[in-house]
Structure 1
Amino acid sequence: MNSLFSLPEASTHAVTVDHIFYLLLALSGATVVLVFGLILLFAVRYRRGSKAKRGPMPEFLGREFEIGWTLATLLTFAFLFWWASSADLSSLAAPPHALEIHVVSKQWMWKTQHANGAREINALHVPLHEPVHLLMSSQDVIHSFYAPAFRVKQDVVPGRDTDIWFEASKTGTFPLLCAEYCGTNHSAMRGEIVVMQPEDYAKWLTRQPEGDDLAHEGAKLFVSQGCSGCHATSSNVHAPRLAGLYGRAVQLADGRTVTADDAYLRDSILQPKRDVVAGFEPIMPSFKGLLDDGEIQSLTAYIRSLGEEPPND
């Protein structure tokens, strides 16, 4: 595996991560040199038989030294904590109009799907200088999406949706790895991220095999799995309407309020009796074992696409 020093900074986030890393390296190196230098100096100067003056340090010098050293250490730690935490927090929330790509991990491959339905295995094509938002899930065990050139890593956990985003700053082909031991062929779970100029990415996307996008696939599943029998506007069953639901605050029967995001929709599909919407009966069956992660992502994309439509009364 390539080391951090041999990989280029290929994303906007990578520059900040590398600056923090190099500063920590310099501070650690300076501390090691100072400590071992003092040890060597004192060992030589105050060796047995030397004529160096010995005695207690003047009180004012000891007090000022202790106060100065403590304050310097405290301020340095506070600055590093602020810088590193602000860099991490800024990498959590993807920009509102980021390009959305779905990633499904399984032993031992990465399956990616673009918004227009184009699919890849162990590869991910993205445009240059455009934020890319990855929505990820696992079909079996814990994996970890690791793109060292972009300095991003995110665990992909079964039964839970996770996400990460980056903005590529250089064109080229960069390694994609799994950083969590996931089974016998963990070391072979490799792929590549191909960063292209925006116009080249658009051409590549149009050349991929035609297929329904995620929302259209989700719409078909919505009908074939019987969801429309309860959640459609024309349904006689008293069930929550889905148009305009995504991103909205939902009042639950137990008094809690949650946001209808990807995680909430996934839980509602697999564990419908856990978060029951206020005013509705817990009559929805669980689809656990009936839908895989890719199908859940498609259903979520379909519900998300309804967010632009006004709710029907």
Structure 2
Amino acid sequence: MSFPLFPVQASTQAMRTDHIFFWLVFISGMIVVLVFGLIFTFSFRYRNGSSAQRGELPEWVSHDFEIGWTTATFFLFLFVAWWTAASSLGALTPSKSGLQIHVVAKQWMWKTQHPNGAREINALHVPVGEPVTLLMTSQDVIHSFFAPQFRIKKDVLPGRYTDAWFQATTTGTFHLFCTQLCGTEHARMIGDIVAMTPGDYARWSAAQPQADDVASIGASLFRSLGCSGCHAENSAVHAPPLAGLYGRPVRLSDGRTVTADDAYLRDSILRPGSDIVDGYENIMPSFAGLIGDDEIFALTAYIRSLADHPKESGR
């Protein structure tokens, strides 16, 4: 169901978000009606004053009523906060299944890359009924990925990865905006999200210019940049193995334990001295300024693929 004054609901998150919104409006409306009802009732009921005792209250007067409504209001607030937080957490945690699409924002366009290597500018084709995870970064300033029909909005930051996910429920073409002022052409940084049936998406994907998938591109970069000379199993250099690394906890030399996710891999490539793996020396050079976000996406995709095919890391 979609309210006429609201954008259509085109994702599972949209239905959940609207459900929370309307319930909060209803609860707030009931409180407003109650408060203003009491104000008007007391204003007319006691407009001529009353014989109630003024001044200091006697000891026998009970404060149970005040304590009761204050406590009830407090627990109502806690319930609403818990309910909205619990209902919204699912939208913050990316799905581990489905498509993972890389998104790079720059002044003033959206660049997207699919797992099979297909690239788009200011457009994003997705299948209906399948979770889609967006792994996003910016090449210059802060942008914000906003798809109103999907009810998702996430800031896209330079030098960092942010992620968001959605599952389209309706076919069609939907708006994509940047909602963070990012320069003179900010208002023109728009695009389309095209939700298609799985069959149509498969045909569209097959019709795109042939290209290696992202992980294969990353494997080629891994060799051409010399990474395999240190991280291969038979390498003479003592460097951390990458087979099965992605998604696992990593103990660092300073005692911290971090998860080997996309953000950790990015930092390891650009700032290898910031998080040194326990038991290894800081011998990895920084690739900051030598490779761009597209290459970093490809390298992390390759390392991520080694979690499923660990024997390939020795290539």
The normalised TM-score by structure 2 is 0.90
Aligned to 2:309: 309
Distance (Å, rounded) in 2 between the aligned partners of 1:68 and 1:61 = 15
Cα distance change of structure 1 residues 64 and 257 upon mapping to structure 2, 3 Å threshold: closer
Structure 1 counterpart of 2:309, which letter?
A: E
Shift of 1:285: 0.9
Answering whether residue 52 of structure 2 is matched by residue 55 of structure 1, we say: yes
| 1:284-309 Cα distance to aligned partner (Å, 9 max, x none) | 11111111111101000011111123
Gapped regions of structure 1 (runs ≥ 5): none
| 1:14-42 Cα distance to aligned partner (Å, 9 max, x none) | 11211111122122223333333333344
Cα distance change of structure 1 residues 22 and 229 upon mapping to structure 2, 3 Å threshold: same
Aligned to 1:113: 113
Moved over 6 A (4+): 57-62
Aligned to 2:80: 80
Aligned to 2:220: 220
Q: Is the Cα contact below 8 Å between 1:4 and 1:148 reproduced in 2?
A: no
Distance (Å, rounded) in 2 between the aligned partners of 1:62 and 1:195 = 62
Equivalenced residues, count: 308
Aligned to 1:18: 18
**Range with greater deviation from structure 2 (8-17 or 265-274):** 8-17
Aligned to 2:40: 40
| 1:202-255 Cα distance to aligned partner (Å, 9 max, x none) | 111111111111111111211222212222234322212222221222222222
Aligned to 1:263: 263
Distance (Å, rounded) in 1 between the aligned partners of 2:173 and 2:304 = 32
Distance (Å, rounded) in 2 between the aligned partners of 1:142 and 1:86 = 28
Structure 1 counterpart of 2:73, which letter?
A: T
Aligned Cα root-mean-square deviation (Å): 2.4
Aligned to 1:196: 196
Structure 2 counterpart of 1:72, which letter?
A: A
Cα distance change of structure 1 residues 53 and 254 upon mapping to structure 2, 3 Å threshold: closer
Q: Within 5 Å, which residues of 2 pair with 1:155-174?
A: 155-174=155-174
Shift of 1:268: 0.4
Shift of 1:98: 2.1
Distance (Å, rounded) in 1 between the aligned partners of 2:273 and 2:221 = 21
Cα distance change of structure 1 residues 62 and 12 upon mapping to structure 2, 3 Å threshold: farther
Distance (Å, rounded) in 1 between the aligned partners of 2:301 and 2:231 = 16
Structure 2 counterpart of 1:241, which letter?
A: P
**Range with greater deviation from structure 2 (130-139 or 254-263):** 254-263
Answering whether residue 98 of structure 2 is matched by residue 101 of structure 1, we say: no
Distance (Å, rounded) in 2 between the aligned partners of 1:5 and 1:220 = 50
**Range with greater deviation from structure 2 (82-91 or 114-123):** 82-91
Answering whether residue 182 of structure 2 is matched by residue 185 of structure 1, we say: no
Cα distance change of structure 1 residues 64 and 200 upon mapping to structure 2, 3 Å threshold: same
Question: What is the SS of the residue equivalent to 2:306?
Answer: helix
Gapped regions of structure 2 (runs ≥ 5): none
Distance (Å, rounded) in 1 between the aligned partners of 2:255 and 2:65 = 57
